[in-house]
Amino acid sequence: MSLELIHAELIRIREALEARPFASGAPAAKPAAPRSDEVPLPTEIIVDAGNVQVHFGKNKGVALSSLGDRSVAWYAQEPEPRIGNNGKPFPPRAEDVLLRNAARTLIHQKRGTIAGAAVPTAPVANIDEGDVSF
């Protein structure tokens, strides 16, 4: 068999595989995790979000304001649901919801994307238009 025939056969095999992407029984690829700039809005705005402490893992006891932006964005993401023996997801724990909303609040306050959030602005000077000389 010549190399040209082998090459042509490989091309046909590749085309056949691409036409049927999931026919091999291989599981579909998982969707990519959301990027940190795709942080959802909080379901409840937490007043002092920076002082909320992480309640698990290596940052246990650390306030969100002490963490880097990437860490805060990680805590703001929606986790995979925990599934019980009956196949139904467990309801989220109150401390998990508080941490997630605090992280989301902190991120969106920094971005200025929460309506009514206190965003520091420069003071506006009162100018008497009669005193302006042009």
**C-alpha–C-alpha distance, residues 130 and 46, integer Å:** 46
- Express each pLDDT in 23-68 by its tens digit: 555 555 555 554 545 888 899 999 999 999 999 999 999 999 999 9
- Spell out the residues 6+ positions from residue 54 whose beta carbon is closer than 8 angstroms to its own: 60, 61, 62, 64, 67, 75, 99
**C-alpha–C-alpha distance, residues 76 and 70, integer Å:** 10
pTM reported for the whole predicted model:
0.58
- Express each pLDDT in 60-89 by its tens digit: 999 999 999 999 999 999 988 888 888 888
**Amino acid 25: pLDDT:** 53
Instruction: Decide if pLDDT at 129 tops 80.
Output: no
In this prediction, what percent of the chain has a pLDDT beyond 70?
Answer: 71
Q: What is the mean pLDDT of residues 104-114?
A: 88
Paired strand residues for 53: 63
Domain boundaries, the chain: 33-117
